[in-house]
């Protein structure tokens, strides 16, 4: 798997070491978004986190006083973005360049799950846009 090209600060390295120590899963990166700490792990290590997700992540959350989120890292933007919506079934992700030069990812979900995918006040879509921009230089993620 190709590793994401990232620069790690001392603080990020500390977060990664603490995450790995508590969960036994490898973390490729950690980034802050609002009051959340988001960890990216290889897809094969996501199962380690999901086997016993509450205790280690709860400890980490309490210790750092931040909400902890864990997502799988994928080499393709489509797969990566689909993994950012774990509570809904993503039917398709389309990357479309716009005439104004922006690159937008359209995430197709079932109409009945659209609200869950978007999240309260659009938080899930904003978080997905933030991560898609950071790792794949995409300008926006939209749920359709």
Say which residue, 141 or 57, is predicted with more confidence: 141
Q: Please report the pLDDT score of residue 11 as a whole number.
A: 87
**Residue 118 pLDDT:** 97
Predicted confidence (pLDDT) per residue in 80-96, tens digit: 999 999 999 999 999 99
pLDDT tens digits, one per residue of 18-75: 999 988 899 999 999 999 999 999 999 888 887 765 688 888 899 899 999 999 999 9
Q: What is the pTM of this model?
A: 0.88
pLDDT on residue 57:
87
Helix locations, 24-142, DSSP H? 43-51, 54-64, 77-83, 114-118, 123-136
Q: What are the Cα distances from residue 36, in Å, to 50, 90, 98, 111? A: 18, 23, 30, 28
Please, what are the domains in the chain? 10-73 (3.30.300.20), 77-143 (3.30.300.20)
Q: Tell me how far apart the alpha carbons of residues 23 and 50 are, in angstroms, rounded to a whole number.
A: 10
Looking at residue 140, its pLDDT comes to: 96
């Amino acid at each position: 798997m190709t590793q994401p090209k990232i620069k790690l600060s001392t603080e990020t390295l500390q977060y990664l070491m603490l995450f790995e120590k508590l969960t036994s899963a490898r973390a490729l990166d950690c980034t802050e978004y609002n009051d959340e700490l988001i960890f990216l792990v290889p897809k094969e290590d996501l199962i380690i986190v999901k086997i016993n997700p509450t205790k280690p992540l709860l400890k980490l959350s309490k210790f750092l006083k931040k909400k902890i989120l864990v997502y799988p890292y994928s080499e393709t933007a489509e797969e990566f973005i689909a993994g950012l919506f774990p509570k809904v079934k993503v039917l398709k992700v389309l990357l479309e360049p716009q005439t104004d030069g922006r690159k937008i990812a359209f995430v197709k979900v079932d109409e009945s799950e659209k609200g869950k995918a978007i999240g309260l006040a659009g938080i899930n879509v904003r978080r997905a846009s933030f991560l898609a921009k950071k790792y794949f230089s995409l300008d926006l993620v939209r749920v359709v």
